[in-house]
Amino acid sequence: MTHRVLVINDDAYELSTLCAAMRLHGIEVVGEARNLQVAQNLIRPLRPDAILLDIGFASKESVAFVNSTIKILPDVGFVVMTNCPDLRLLGLELKDFPNGTKVVLKRSVADLSVIRDAIDEAILSQGRCEKSVWMDQHLSLHENSFNSILTSFTNTQIETLRLLSKGFSNAQIGKIRYVSEKSVEQIVARIAMHLKIQHDHTMNLRVLLTGEYFKWLGAPRH
C-alpha cells in the first residue's frame, strides 16, 4: 500500500534530493516544506498518512509541531530524522514524541528502504500505544540501537554540556541547575574525562568541549 507522506526539511538540497529518491522508491510524497510554518499550513488540506520530519536544530519547535499535529490528525505516523545519536543533546527525550514515533539516525540510512520501512512501522504503530523507538540500519527497534560514548553520560552531564556549549559560565550553569559552581567544575571535568580530552594549558577546555558537543550534534566540520 502506498502511503501519502509530507516531508519537512529546512535544507533545500536535502529536501529536493530526498523527495526525488522517495518518489523513485514508490513513496507518494504529497507535500514538501522547508519550515514548520509552511508544514503547519499543509496539514489540513493534505491530510498525509505520515510525516517525515528532519528536526535539525529546531528541536523544541519540532516537538511542539508534532504534538499540535497529532491533535489534528490523531492517526498520522511520525518519522523523525536527526544527525544526533542521543536526543538528550538536543534537550529532548523519546517520550517527548507521540507513541509510535520512529526515530532514524541519518548517517545510518544506507538506502531508502530504512525510511520506507520506518514510515510503514510508524503508521502501523498508531493506535497500538507503542512507545517511540529508534530504527537503525538493521531495523532493530529499541531505545539503545546506537550505542556510543554518550550512553555513559548522565542526564546532568548532558545538560551541563548543552549549557556550556551555549556559552553559559560555570556560575550561570550552577544557578540554572541549582548546584554550586564547584559542583559544575567537577561535572565539566568528568565530561572531559569521558570524552578523553586531555588537560592542555594551550587550549581552552570549554572550546574543546563545545567542539565535541557540535560534533555529536551532527554539525558540519570545516
Q: 142, 170, 196 — which closes off a domain? A: 142
State the amino acid at position 20 in one-letter form.
A
pLDDT, one tens digit per residue, over 36-65 is: 999 999 999 999 999 999 997 667 899 999
What pLDDT score does 182 carry?
95
- Same domain, yes or no: 81 and 117: yes
Q: Which comes out higher in pLDDT, residue 88 or 141?
A: 88
Query: What is the mean predicted confidence (pLDDT) over 201-215?
Result: 88
- Same domain, yes or no: 138 and 167: no
Question: What is the rounded distance in angstroms from the CA atom of residue 7 to the CA atom of residue 97?
Answer: 17
pLDDT, one tens digit per residue, over 94-116 is: 889 988 899 998 877 777 888 99
Of all residues in the chain, the percent with pLDDT exceeding 90 is: 54
Domain ranges, residue 183: 149-217
- Same domain, yes or no: 9 and 118: yes
Q: Give the domain CATH number at 161.
A: 1.10.10.10
- Same domain, yes or no: 126 and 22: yes
Question: What is the rounded distance in angstroms from the CA atom of residue 195 to the CA atom of residue 212?
Answer: 8
Q: Give the domain CATH number at 28.
A: 3.40.50.2300
Question: What is the rounded distance in angstroms from the CA atom of residue 133 to the CA atom of residue 140?
Answer: 9
- Give me the chain's average pLDDT, please: 86
| 122 close to 50: Cβ distance less than 8 angstroms | yes
What pLDDT score does 177 carry?
93
Q: 142, 157, 178 — which closes off a domain? A: 142
Domain annotation covers residue 115: yes
Query: What is the mean predicted confidence (pLDDT) over 123-131?
Result: 74
Query: What is the mean predicted confidence (pLDDT) over 174-200?
Result: 91
Q: 121, 142, 163 — which closes off a domain? A: 142
The dihedrals phi and psi of 76, each to the nearest 5 degrees, come to: -70, 140
Task: State pTM to two decimals.
Answer: 0.82
Give the chain's length.
Answer: 222
Domain annotation covers residue 35: yes
Domain annotation covers residue 124: yes
Q: Which of 218, 160, 146 is nearest to 188 (CA)?
A: 160
Domain annotation covers residue 132: yes
| 124 close to 101: Cβ distance less than 8 angstroms | no
What pLDDT score does 57 carry?
62
Count of the separate structural domains present in the chain: 2
What pLDDT score does 127 carry?
60
